[in-house]
Structure formats: structure tokens, C-alpha cells
Amino acid sequence: MTTPELVLEYPQDRVATIRINRPSVYNALHSKLIAEIASAVADLAADTMIGAIVITGTGEKAFSAGADLDELTGLDEQAATEILASGQACLRAIEQCGVPVIAAVNGLALGGGLELVLCCSFAVLSERASLGLPETGLGLIPGYGGTQRLTRVAGPAVARFAMLTGRRLSAEQAYLWGITPVPPVPADELIGRATEFAGDIAARGPRAAAAVLRLTGLAGDRPLDEMLIAETAAAAAAVGSDEGAEGIAAFTTKRAPMFGGAR
């Protein structure tokens, strides 16, 4: 799906890139655009030729500066509930799409922009990136999952600090506090590095990658003993699968595996 506000850059080595394309408003998100992003991710995840997805923003200034406040102006509680619940469902669908999604954060990621980053599998940050959840300064709070995902990723103290003070986190702070597993990269290397990680992932077993996403997605919500049983079942299924057999055979014969696209 390619629209004026959302650009799909077609696959290269089983990696597709989705680019938010509203640079004049710092790639701000409105409800229709969030739905379009989720729809594009779903379409790509259903394509067996796609092994990983990169999401980024157009321009050097912003990944996304957050929700388009024009859309929220004058809404009553019921109308706001409908918009926020729909947005949450879209981000949850991205999180659960079954294909690794990497956020390549090229600049500001504020409010809903950071919430989009947090629903991705992980993020790669430009040294110019700046992250924050500034909603309390407007008498609002995050509504697309920020209170929950930032707490799970970085811990309650970091989440409270970010939301209660509204202060922006530099790319280095985000790395030190566990919001990204990758040290910040120079701006001109961002897409290359994110695509490199995505390419590495896309070359691995697609069913195995989907299982890792599912198990890690549940890990924070379920008891350890329950998840260890789930891991055993998934690992055993992988061993008994055609994908696992191909991976083991390739290792034994010292060749690159030839994985199918099924997940």
C-alpha cells in the first residue's frame, strides 16, 4: 500500500520498508494513517517473500512527532475512546503480526510516535533521535500503549520520569535505559544499519522468528513455568519441522539453509 502519506519501498533481500510521509508536520499520526500503517504491515506479513519490515519517517527531523492534535480537538470522552481504542488495536496488530518489525528512528519520536516505536520488535536510533511522552504537559496521558509498553521495556521509574516530566530522552539515554538494544548510529548510516539487521533476520527461519516473537511477547504477562512449557512445545515443534530439518542439514553440510516462506 502506497499513499501520499505512506510510502512502501518494495522488498530488497526479503526486507520491505514503510515510510511515514508527512514531513511538513513532522510525520504526525492521525487515525486513518495509523490504520494504513497497520494494514500495510498486515499485507507484508502475509507475503511469504517478506522476512522483515523496517518502519521509518521521511526527512531528517522526525520519525513521528506524535498524534495529530487537530483530530483530537473538541472530542468528548466517547469519541476519544473510539479513536484511541482503534489506534491501540492497530499498534497491537503490528506487534503481533508474526514478522519482525524494526523501527528506524531518524529524529523525533514523541507521543504516538514513540508508542509506534515501542510496538515494534526493536528500534535502531539515529544519533539525532529524541524520544519522549510529553502528554502530561497538555493535561493528557499516552493513549496508544505508552504507559504499558515503556514500563515493560525500561521499567516503571524510567516510564514515570519520561511521562511525569515530559523530558525528551536522547538516543544515548534510550540505549542506556534499554529502550533500544543497539547503540545510536550516525544519521547517514541509520537506514543501512536497520536494513542490515532486517536482512540478517530475514535470512533466518521464518517459523522460528515467528515463534520467538510470540514467546517473547507473552513472557512479561505469563508465569515462568507456563512459558517454559510453551517454549518446550515450540522448540520441539521446530525440531520436528521441515524448517528445522533444513537448518540442521545445512549446518551439517556447511551450506546456507534454503528456508521456505511459510510461517
- The residues with which 245 forms a beta bridge, in sequence order, are none
Q: How far is CA 236 from the centre of its chain?
A: 28
CA distance 263 to 257: 16
Q: What is the DSSP string of 138-178?
A: GT----SSHHHHHHHHH-HHHHHHHHHH-PPEEHHHHHHTT
Contact 59, 53 (CB under 8 A): no
Contact 186, 127 (CB under 8 A): yes
The residues assigned a catalytic role are: 115, 135
* Burial of 227 per CB tally in 10 Å (0-12, 13-18, 19+): middle
Helix (H) or strand (E) holding 20: strand 15-20
Residue of 200, 27, 25 lying closest to 105 (CA atoms): 27
The tally of CA atoms less than 13 A away on the side-chain side of residue 204 is: 15
How many H helices and E strands in the chain? Answer: 11, 9
Instruction: Please enumerate in sequence order all residues whose Cβ is within 8 A of that of 149, keeping only pairs 6 or more positions apart, or say none.
Output: 115, 118, 119
